Amino acid sequence: MGIAPGAFITSNIELVTPIAEGAMGSVWVAYHHRLQTRVAVKFVSDKLGEDTPEALARFEREASTASQIKSSHVVQTFDSGVTVDGEPFMVMELLEGESLGNRLRRGQLLSLGEGATILAQIARALMKAHALGIVHRDIKPD
């Protein structure tokens, strides 16, 4: 099967197009046929060499932990699993629009008010996570 446009990773979820790829993995736009909505699907890169039971357990904990954070400032995690090819995946809310990282890379400056609003939203999200004992070690504007 593999990770490719048109591939079904479950009986309901069809991959559409990649959004981003990095050292840690890739994120795809997918269509959830049962829910009739577009979602984001995150895969962990097999280049990390972490196809051990411990790595899979860590990924499953990440998915479970992420789904516990209920905040309008945190992407909602709907589901997780493993494809028939053994690829762990996480199904998440698909956000539309430009990332803060893209905006900053374009050189578009933030006003003081915009910066304060964004920082306050980040702080609220982190407060929700910390209240659950979750420490996020990879915060970035993308």
Q: Which residues are catalytic?
A: 138
* Cβ contacts of 104 within 8 Å, gap of 6 or more: 110, 141
Nearest CA to 69 among 142, 141, 120, 131? 131
107-135 residues labelled b (16+ CB within 10 A) or e (exposed): eeeeeeeeeeeeeeeeeebbebbeeeeee
Nearest CA to 80 among 49, 43, 132? 43
Host H or E run for residue 45: none
What is the rounded CA–CA span in Å between residue 12 and residue 37?
Answer: 11
